[in-house]
Amino acid sequence: MAPSDFSAAIRALDHEAKLALLDELWRDLSEEVQRAPVPDDHREELDRRLDRADGEGDGVASWDEVRRRITGSHP
């Protein structure tokens, strides 16, 4: 099926059907990503970043702290 055929079919769906389709697509993509091999250079970069984060100790801020700094608000 051509992409243009998908577009027309999707536009014809109601809101609930579009959400269900989106959910199914995300699940399918998630499963594919989990099965995909990770290149060695990506693994090495991830390991490097994890090592750096482990070495920073208190220099790493939580998401709540970052959000407080940005918005000036408290949760």
Give dist(CA 57, CA 59) in Å, integer.
Answer: 5
Tell me how many domains the chain contains: 2
pLDDT at site 53:
79
Same domain, 42 and 30: no
DSSP reduced 3-state for 13: coil
More confident residue, 71 or 56: 71
DSSP letters spanning 9-66: HHHHS-HHHHHHHHHHHHHHHHHHHHHSPPPHHHHHHHHHHHHHHHHHGGGSPPHHHH
> Over the stretch 26-67, which tens digit does the pLDDT of each residue have?
999 999 888 889 899 999 999 999 888 777 666 778 899 899
Q: Are residues 54 and 44 in the same domain?
A: yes
pTM of the model: 0.46
42 and 61 in a single domain? The answer is: yes
Query: Are 44 and 29 in a shared domain?
Result: no
Q: Write out the residue range of the structural domain in which residue 63 sits.
A: 38-75
Residues 50, 22, single domain; the answer is no
Same domain, 26 and 45: no
